[in-house]
């Protein structure tokens, strides 16, 4: 009985520590580049923001390829993105870098319109990939037409499209040429080094007791 109890405790601690590491799947992706086109400004969002061609910009996304992608409607309804034969979805969240904003309250204000996009995808048909964030009235999409997302590494060239809407479904579109500059891994539930050391010590102690119990 003592052997089984010790074994269960050892497995429990090992599993707990493993889960702590497994949750560290979220990474920050930082893209930097320049505005390549401000030609479409029907909503006036680009002029209001004072954005010009060749202006520098940077977008930051949080990505977790182990979680599913989704969208959230204005009424709070979560709509999962379901994988299909062509697209494999995963979680992405646009964090910072928006250059323009919706005008006059935007145009997508019904309950079923999207308040927040939280997904990226790999296209299995043509080996492309994308990240999408923001809302239906002010979205940011980053795309590679040559590489699926799993192959995006530092130095990969991608394309950005930011859109903002005004009333009457009128939009402004801001195109950009971007380079993936950094991928920074973060742990959503950091485990303090002292706790890890204590956990390692407990595992070692339990392992020693297991050996002694087995010999006895």
pLDDT score, position 123: 95
C-alpha atoms less than 13 angstroms from C-alpha of 127 in its C-beta half-sphere = 4
pLDDT score, position 200: 43
Residue with tokens 């040559």: 146
What is the maximal distance between C-alpha atoms in the chain? 82
pLDDT score, position 25: 84
67-123: pLDDT as tens digits: 999 999 999 999 999 999 999 999 999 999 999 999 999 999 999 999 999 999 999
Domain-wise residue ranges, the chain: 1-24+192-216, 25-186
Short-list 160, 169, 104, CA closest to 136:
169
Quick one: average pLDDT of 156-185? Answer: 97
Measured between alpha carbons, how far is 184 from 190 in angstroms, rounded to an integer? 14
**Mean pLDDT of the residues in the chain:** 83
CB atoms under 10 Å from CB of 134, counted, come to 21
DSSP characters over the chain: -HHHHHHHHHHHHHHHHHHHHHTTT-EEEEEEEEEEEEEEETTSHHHHHT--TT-EEEEEEEEETTSPPEEEETTS-EEEPPP-SSEEEEEEEEEE------STT-S--STTSEEEEEEEEEETTTTEEEEEEE-SSEEEEEEESSS-GGG--TT-EEEEEEEEEEGGGEEEEEEEEEEEEEEEE--SS---HHHHHHHHHHHHHHHHHHHHHHH-
Measured between alpha carbons, how far is 175 from 154 in angstroms, rounded to an integer? 21
pLDDT score, position 209: 52
Measured between alpha carbons, how far is 110 from 165 in angstroms, rounded to an integer? 14
Measured between alpha carbons, how far is 11 from 7 in angstroms, rounded to an integer? 6
């Amino acid at each position: 009985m003592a052997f089984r109890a010790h074994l269960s405790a050892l497995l429990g601690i090992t599993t707990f520590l493993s889960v702590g590491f497994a949750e560290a799947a979220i990474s920050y992706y930082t893209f930097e580049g320049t505005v390549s086109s401000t030609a479409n400004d029907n909503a006036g969002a680009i002029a209001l923001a004072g954005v010009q061609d060749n202006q520098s910009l940077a977008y930051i996304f949080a990505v977790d390829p182990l979680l599913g992608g989704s969208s959230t409607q204005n009424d709070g309804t979560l709509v999962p993105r379901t994988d299909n034969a062509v697209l494999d979805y995963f979680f992405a969240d646009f964090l910072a870098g928006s250059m323009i904003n919706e005008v006059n309250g935007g145009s997508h204000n019904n309950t079923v319109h999207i308040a927040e996009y939280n997904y990226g995808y790999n296209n299995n048909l043509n080996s492309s990939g994308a990240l999408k964030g923001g809302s239906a009235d002010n979205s940011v999409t980053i795309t590679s037409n040559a590489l699926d997302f799993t192959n995006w590494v530092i130095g990969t060239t991608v394309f950005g499209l930011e859109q903002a809407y005004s009333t009457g479904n009128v939009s402004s579109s801001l195109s950009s040429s971007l380079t993936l500059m950094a991928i920074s891994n973060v742990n959503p539930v950091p485990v303090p080094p002292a706790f890890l050391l204590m956990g390692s010590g407990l595992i070692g102690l339990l392992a020693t007791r297991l050996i002694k119990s087995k010999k006895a």
